[in-house]
Each structure stands twice: as structure tokens, then as C-alpha cells.
Chain A
Amino acid sequence: GESVGLHLPTLSVQEGDNSIINCAYSNSASDYFIWYKQESGKGPQFIIDIRSNMDKRQGQRVTVLLNKTVKHLSLQIAATQPGDSAVYFCAEINTGGFKTIFGAGTRLFVKA
């Protein structure tokens, strides 16, 4: 849903482990979802997307899972690397409109 002015939740993982980042979205009419990665001082970078007619989609080292029943989205990163350290945002879209709603974000730290 709409982000709130709180400190970002943080996930700390060891290099080589798998990471799971979770997101709850707000609008049951949202039918398209994107995960973005944002490194410090940069704009968001597209990672992977999923439409509401799917519940799982895989990319290179990343998997997105969608549970529409509980309005939950997750991003799994396999074999996490130091270069994966960033803030990760989920975004929800109702494709009948033009607005993208970003979640609050999760900061991922990868320990070498």
C-alpha cells in the first residue's frame, strides 16, 4: 500500500544464502506487480514483474510469488551476493489506470 514515514525494515543475510523479501499490497483491484531495486543515490531499477493471473514467476536468480487471497507478494533471491545490497520496493498497479503505488521498501544487507 502507500508507504508510511517509518524507518525501513531491514533484512541481513550472509553471502550465498537465499533472501526472501515480503510485501503486503493494499488494493484488491491491482492486477500487475513489479519488484524494483534501488541502490543509494540512484533511481529504481526493474527486477521482475508478475500479472495477477499468475502466482509465480522466475527470472535469473529471482522468483516472485503472488498470493491474491491475502494480498501478499514476495521476492526470493537465490545465492545472495554483495551486489544485491539495496532497498527493494514492491509496486502495485491497476492496469485500468496509470498510477503505480510503491510499498514502503525493505533494506537488504548482504554480509560477506
Chain B
Amino acid sequence: NAGVMQNPRHLVRRRGQEARLRCSPMKGHSHVYWYRQLPEEGLKFMVYLQKENIIDESGMPKERFSAEFPKEGPSILRIQQVVRGDSAAYFCASSPQEGPYEQYFGPGTRLTVT
């Protein structure tokens, strides 16, 4: 049973470009969380999604950031017009049940904005 998969593992974007980060949850999991981690810091919650629904996006910046989890395919975290401050590691986690329990984390996407 494959774990949570994220791609790309490393992404370099110039300021003003768009970044798309993908997360494929574990098989059978219909709940996805996205987190952001700056160097030497803990993870910061961004958004919690179920299939086709955003449940809690209280950690997402109001502008430039969006997330989706379509009925088919991976969850996507999209950052428009990236700035240097967006450089971070972005992790997704999936869960088989509602609520922040039993989260399985992917290896992360390291975004560098030049």
C-alpha cells in the first residue's frame, strides 16, 4: 500500500509565477490536510479538505493561495504570483476518517522562489 505521495519533491519558481503542488492520499483516504513548514519551525496548518469540499481553510492566506480535492485525482495546492516569502516545505497528510486523527504525512514539496 503506497503511502502519501507528493510531487514535485522540489520546485523552483521565479517571483510572480504560479506554483502547483500535488498530493495523492493513501488508498482509501478521503481526507487531506495541507501544512507549511519554514526552516527550523513546526508545521503550520493551512487547509483541510474532503473530496470536493473545503472543510476548514482558516490557515490559508486570503490571497494567492487556493486548494482543491476533486472527486478524481490528487489534491492541489495552488500559489499564484509567488513571492520569496512563499519559499518553504509544504506537506500534505491524509486520513481515513473525519477529524485530525491518524494523519499520514507525505515527503513534502520544497518550494524555492528566486
Residues of A within 8 A of B (CB): 2-8, 32, 41-46, 49, 89, 93, 95, 97-105
Contact = CB atoms under 8 A, between A and B. Distances in A.
Contacts of A93: 100-101
Interface in B39-69: 40-45, 48, 55-56, 58-59
A41 B37 CA distance: 12
B44 A98 contact: no
Most chain A beta-carbon neighbours within 10 Å: one of B38, B42, B104, B106: B42
The 4 A-B pairs of least Cβ separation, nearest first, read: A43-B105, A102-B42, A3-B42, A98-B56
Contacts of A45: 105
Mostly helix, strand, loop or mixed at chain A's interface?
A: loop
Contact of B100 (A4, A8, A100): A100
Given A99-B45, A100-B103, A101-B45, A42 B108 contact: yes
A30 B107 CA distance: 27
Nearest to B108: A43
A36 B99 CA distance: 17
Contacts of A101: 45
